[in-house]
Amino acid sequence: MLAVRDLYAGYGNVTVLKGLNFEVPAGSIVALLGANGAGKTTTLRVISGMLRPSRGQVMYDGQSVVGLPAHALVKRGIVHVPEGRRIFAGLTVEENLLLGAFTRPWDQRTRQSLEQVYAYFPRLKERRRQLGGTLSGGEQQMLAIGRAFMANPRFLLLDEPSLGLAPTIVNELYESIVRLNREQGLTILFVEQNAALALDVAQYAYVLEVGSIVLGGPSEDLKGNEEVKRVYLGY
Amino acid sequence: MDQLAEQIITGLMSGTVYGLFALVLVLIFQSTNMLNFGQGEMATFSTYLGWALMVLVPYWPGFIVAAIVAFIIGAALQRGLIRLVEDKPPTSAFIVGLGLFLIFNSLSGAIFGPEPKSFEQPWTGSPFKLGDITIVRYNLFIFLVALVVMAVLTAFMRFTKLGIALRATAMDRAAAELMGIPTSRMLMLGWGLAAMLGAIAAMLVAPVIILHPGMMFFVLMFGFTAAVLGGLDSLPGAVVGGLVIGVLQNLVGVYLPDVVDALHLPFDIRDGNQYRDIALVVVLLLVLMFRPHGLFGKSTIERK
């Protein structure tokens, strides 16, 4: 579904991505692992159109999407849940969710998506008239993912969904993410600091080091890799 | 007591205009992070257009066409000029604001001349009597039109897709872009709306303060104070701030000269307007000293 080819990108004079190559098969869950500053967030930002690469290609369904503005990519089904969730604090939970469906007409089918989100995350339904800023961290992450789901995506990018959340909440969250993949057929690419958790959830994983992929393959293989064990799993 | 009630009512009525103009400033401040000091002169220019139109057509068609033209001017300015300073330091936007002030002030003077013009005043006639309270008919007109405009704006912002998207863009542009919202077009819409509301406020006060190139300067100052008082990031705060400033201005203008006379101060200011302006600056100072985020603004300090 997605192929990244020889990608270079950065900020000002700093090059963060240095010849990135990887693929995300349709219907899969893929994890991006790596230390701080390896370029994980930058990779997601390039794919979703938030950052223009200096070189290389991002192929989506066989077509290049480099240079398209972020809002145009949402229409094509690529939806990015950014680091730090970026909930609209001054809007209600329901307004946040409806904005996720900005590219669709607000009709009966959008209504159905809304009910689906509430079914996945019942706590959002309870709080639907509350302002987004009053939610807890876990609820905000649910809202961010629910909001992305409202766009009717085919390809979801999640940037550290577990950041700052309690372990029980993190488990609950990843259960919902796996369900979205299985039940809705969503392809998911996510960034995660917790490598053990990421390898449990994902079918494939790539390891990023200073701007390029040093290792990649099925999660089961990576779990057995000595280098991954030592550096990322800590045993 | 009746005189006091009358002054409060008159104050509330002029307060709606300040509130409307404060809304304009807040709208721009939220979406563009800029205090547009050219907003008053832009509104004056549109009012001149309305005046020219009303020579040919009746009041309402002239009023509406001028408001629409103001919208187009605002949107075009965002597209052609403001977009260039979007990612620049705030001083750049401030300088652009001053530039807009000079450009539109000069345009009004160059095209329509410096001499004051009388702007058509609809709904004239004898004042209303409410017991012993007199209400000038045109003041009530201003009040009602401003109220309707605010109600329509509120409904637009709260209940329409475009309005909610506009608020989201003002709150967090990058996140709005990720929702699929074309944020640069939203900012154009915001500037268009602000310019239109500004023009409406200016056309409402034009008959009272007489149409001339610098006529909106005081409204800009009162509107700015109202916006700071309400909190620069709060639309409802702008309206409340406007009403408070309107009432305060009226009460100070009427009562303070008597108080000062009674004190037998060694200087003599007989003109109530001067007290009015001093009161404005005092309010501004007090707010900035004791409640910098205003009555309704957020006091949070965000880590960038």
Residue B174 to chain A, least CA–CA distance (Å): 8
Most confident of A97-106, A221-230, B85-94: A97-106
> Residue for token digits 């408001």?
B67
DSSP 8-state class, residue B99: H
Residue B301 to chain A, least CA–CA distance (Å): 14
> Residue for token digits 């001067």?
B274
Inter-chain residue contact B179 with A95, CB threshold 8 Å: no
Q: Which tokens go with A132?
A: 């987004």
- A38 neighbors A211 (Cβ within 8 angstroms): yes
Tens of pLDDT, residue by residue, chain B (304 residues):
678 899 999 999 989 999 999 999 999 998 888 899 999 999 999 999 999 999 999 999 999 999 999 999 999 999 999 999 988 888 899 999 999 999 999 999 999 999 999 999 998 888 888 888 889 999 999 999 999 999 999 999 999 999 999 999 999 999 999 999 999 999 999 999 999 999 999 999 999 989 999 999 989 999 999 999 999 888 999 999 999 999 998 888 888 877 777 887 776 666 666 777 888 888 999 999 998 888 888 765 444 4
Instruction: Among A19-23, A58-62, B132-136, B243-247, name the one with the lowest average pLDDT.
Output: B132-136
Residue A154 to chain B, least CA–CA distance (Å): 14
DSSP 8-state class, residue B233: T
Judging contacts by C-beta atoms under 8 Å, the chain A residues touching residue B177 are 50, 69-71
Inter-chain residue contact A99 with B165, CB threshold 8 Å: yes
- pLDDT on residue A36: 87
Residue A220 to chain B, least CA–CA distance (Å): 33
Inter-chain residue contact B178 with A74, CB threshold 8 Å: yes
Closest Cα in chain B to A105:
B161
In 3D space, the residue among A79, A75, A77, A12 whose CA is nearest the CA of residue A44 turns out to be: A79
- pLDDT on residue B304: 41
Q: Is A232 exposed, middle or buried (0-12, 13-18, 19+ CB in 10 A)?
A: buried
- For B165, the closest of A69, A102, A151 (CB atoms) is A102
Q: Given CB atoms, is B161 within the 8 Å cutoff of chain A? A: yes
Q: Given CB atoms, is A102 within the 8 Å cutoff of chain B? A: yes
Residue A152 to chain B, least CA–CA distance (Å): 11
- pLDDT on residue B303: 44
Return d(Cα A77, Cα A148) in angstroms, integer. Answer: 10
Judging contacts by C-beta atoms under 8 Å, the chain A residues touching residue B182 are 69, 71
Q: Given CB atoms, is A75 within the 8 Å cutoff of chain B? A: yes
- pLDDT on residue A235: 64
Judging contacts by C-beta atoms under 8 Å, the chain B residues touching residue A89 are 171
Residue A149 pLDDT greater than 80, yes or no: yes
Inter-chain residue contact B178 with A79, CB threshold 8 Å: yes
User: What's the one-letter identity of residue B237?
Assistant: G
Strand ranges inside B128-193, DSSP E: 128-130, 133-135
Inter-chain residue contact A50 with B161, CB threshold 8 Å: no
In 3D space, the residue among B137, B166, B152, B240 whose CA is nearest the CA of residue B200 turns out to be: B152
Return d(Cα A5, Cα A22) in angstroms, integer. Answer: 7
pTM of the model: 0.90
Measured from the Cβ of residue B296, the count of other Cβ atoms closer than 10 Å reads 18
| ipTM rounded to 2 decimals | 0.92
Strand ranges inside A13-142, DSSP E: 14-24, 29-34, 55-60, 63-64, 78-81
